[in-house]
Amino acid sequence: MEKKLSCIDCAVKNCDKMDRTYPEFCLTTNMKREVLDKAMKRYQEEENHRVMTAAAEVEYEHYCKYTRVEEIIAFAEKINARKIGIATCVGLLTESRTLAAILRSHGFEVFGAACKVGAVSKVEAGIPEKCCEVGCNMCNPILQAELLNDAGTDLNVIMGLCVGHDSLFIKYSEALVTSGVTKDRVLGHNPAAALYTADSYYQRLKK
């Protein structure tokens, strides 16, 4: 099968420098014009424009100054979010309580739903019984989303939901979603560490 090169194969990054010198396979110079036009047109929609402008201003105003938590607060303020939802793994409830306390100290209303909410067994949901070896009750990201939807949250923050569970939460969340913590049980919730050490300690990732 022919390998189609894309941005992940590029080491030039001239799309960032804007000097118009691109590799032959560059998506910028090879994409269909209508694809670019379709994306750019969507930024003209009121909510998309508001969110994109807020994100750009947070980046500009606090670049390399603010932590992720501070950036979430700044972004929430920019989009006039009043109620923030927290979709948390039960394993990160302590961290999520701390986040909630910080958000409340900045005047936000906070409502959270933990992954095991509903206490539904995995077997009842049709999940293979072998999966009960790491806990009998299922994670329930769709229910988390529905509970936050019902609470009327303006912005939802994911705190360590499992891979795939986070996908379902995002799919069913009515509010915008951002990540507070990305789960990695092995690396202390710092998944980038595996990438930084892929040529040394974690060479097995390339095998």
Crossing angle of helices 46-62 and 68-78, rounded to 10°: 140
pLDDT in tens, the chain (207 residues): 778 899 989 888 888 776 778 888 999 888 999 999 999 999 999 999 999 999 999 999 999 999 999 999 999 999 999 999 999 999 999 999 999 999 999 999 999 999 999 999 999 999 999 999 999 999 999 999 999 999 999 999 999 999 999 999 999 999 999 999 999 999 999 999 999 998 888 888 888
Q: Please check whether residue 105 lies inside any domain of the structure.
A: yes
- Asked if the structure places residue 72 within a domain, the reply is no
In a domain, 166, yes or no: yes
- Is the domain of 91 the same as that of 25? no
**In the chain, how many domains are there?**
2
Same domain, 144 and 181: yes
| 90: exposed, middle or buried (Cβ count in 10 Å: 0-12, 13-18, 19+) | middle
pLDDT at 18: 67
Domain that holds residue 122: 81-206
Q: Is residue 117 part of a domain?
A: yes
pLDDT, residue 12, reads 81
Same domain, 32 and 85: no
Q: 70 in a domain, yes or no?
A: no
Q: Report the pLDDT value the prediction gives residue 147, as an integer from 0 to 100.
A: 98
State how far the Cα of 133 lies from the Cα of 176, in Å rounded to an integer: 34
Give pLDDT, residue 21: 81
Task: Flag whether 90 is in a domain.
Answer: yes
pTM value surpassing 0.95: no
Kindly report the three-state secondary structure assignment for every residue of the chain. CCCCCCHHHCCCCHHHHCCCCCCCCCHHHHCCHHHHHHHHHHCCCHHHHHHHHHHHHHHHHHCCCCCHHHHHHHHHHHCCCCEEEEEECHHHHHHHHHHHHHHHHCCCEEEEEECCCCCCECCCCCCCHHHHHHCCECCCHHHHHHHHHHHCCCEEEEECCCCCHHHHHHHHCCCEEEEEECCCCCCCCCCHHHHHCCCCCCHHHHC
CATH number of the domain enclosing 114? 3.40.50
Structure confidence at residue 1 (pLDDT): 72
